[in-house]
């Protein structure tokens, strides 16, 4: 049976890297809260590019007729979101399914979309998805909006939920925990004014752990744009839609 470390134990281990003289002394409240803050800041920063999020997953959602947007947010997001399983940090693939037939979506940039589309709104068979990243929310626009009820499948990397001091590290792979421990210790050393405790050896270990994280990150499988399909609607005429 795998050992599951508590968040408190994890933070204590991070502090022990820069305070080896007292590796088992419980952290004082302010140090513990700051260590947790730095750790959660690191976790949030992972979603900037998705490179440091190593595990992708598939989420399915039923799109209603004429639904133009699908939103992704953290489970604790106070507002309204369609899918609360973490903010979408990196889209790798997206497709629609209807009656057993799969329709891939082309991931298009916002600039190309807003420079190209001519008819808004427009209903039919969705061909494109456009991602907009907001502070605590990711918004996916599907264009054209669906004229039928489709099942939307999204495969990508989703932001990890913040750690709670009373929780554990079971939601993270062990290599993730190893990197986080070193990264949290580095931030904590600077905060405590103990920069001398962050040695060249620890920096080398952090760099290696970071490289291991990047090496285990899945290759981006985003669909290449079909240049015979245009956002301006001419493809709909040729396809008879």
- Residues 153-165 have pLDDT tens digits of 999 999 988 899 9
Q: Can you tell me the distance from the alpha carbon of 115 to that of 119, in angstroms, rounded to the nearest whole number?
A: 12
Which pTM was predicted?
Answer: 0.77
Q: What is the pLDDT of residue 241?
A: 45
Q: Model confidence over 116-138: pLDDT tens digits?
A: 766 566 788 899 999 998 888 99
How high is the mean pLDDT of the chain?
A: 84
What's the pLDDT at 76?
83
Rounded to 5°, the CA angle 112-68-95 comes to 75
Confidence of residue 198 (pLDDT cuts 50, 70, 90): very high
Return the pLDDT at 239: 44
Query: Tens of pLDDT along 14-55?
Result: 999 988 776 566 677 788 899 999 999 999 888 887 888 888
Output the pLDDT for position 82: 94
Quick check: 217 pLDDT over 90? no
For residue 225, pLDDT over 50 is answered with no
What percentage of residues in the chain have a pLDDT greater than 70? 84
pLDDT in the model for residue 19 = 84
Mean pLDDT, residues 177-188: 94
Are 94 and 128 spatial neighbours (Cβ–Cβ below 8 Å)? no
**Confidence band (pLDDT; 50, 70, 90) for 139?**
very high
pLDDT for 227: 46
Residue 2 clears pLDDT 70, i.e. is over it: no
- pLDDT tens track for 46-91: 888 788 888 889 999 999 999 999 999 988 888 899 999 889 999 9
């Amino acid at each position: 049976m795998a050992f599951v470390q508590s968040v408190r134990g994890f933070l204590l281990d991070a502090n022990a890297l820069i305070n080896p003289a007292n590796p088992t002394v419980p952290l004082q409240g302010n140090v513990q809260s700051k260590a947790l803050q730095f750790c959660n800041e690191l976790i949030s920063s992972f979603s900037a590019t998705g490179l440091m999020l190593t595990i992708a997953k598939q989420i399915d959602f039923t799109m209603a007729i004429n639904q133009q947007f699908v939103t992704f947010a953290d489970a604790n997001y106070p507002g309204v979101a369609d899918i609360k399983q973490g903010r979408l940090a990196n889209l790798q693939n997206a497709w629609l399914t209807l009656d057993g037939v799969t329709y891939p979506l082309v991931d298009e940039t916002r600039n190309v979309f807003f420079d190209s589309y001519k008819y808004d709104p427009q209903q039919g068979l969705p061909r494109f998805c456009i991602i907009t990243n907001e502070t605590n929310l990711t918004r996916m626009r599907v264009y054209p909006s669906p004229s039928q009820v489709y099942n939307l499948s999204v495969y990508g990397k989703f932001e990890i939920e913040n750690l709670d001091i009373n929780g554990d590290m079971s939601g993270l792979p062990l290599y993730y925990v190893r990197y986080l421990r070193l990264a949290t210790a580095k931030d904590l050393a600077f905060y405590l004014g103990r920069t001398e405790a962050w040695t060249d050896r620890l920096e080398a270990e952090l760099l290696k752990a970071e490289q291991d994280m990047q090496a285990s990150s899945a290759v981006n499988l985003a669909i290449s744009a079909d240049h015979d399909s245009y956002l301006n609607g001419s493809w709909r005429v040729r396809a008879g839609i």
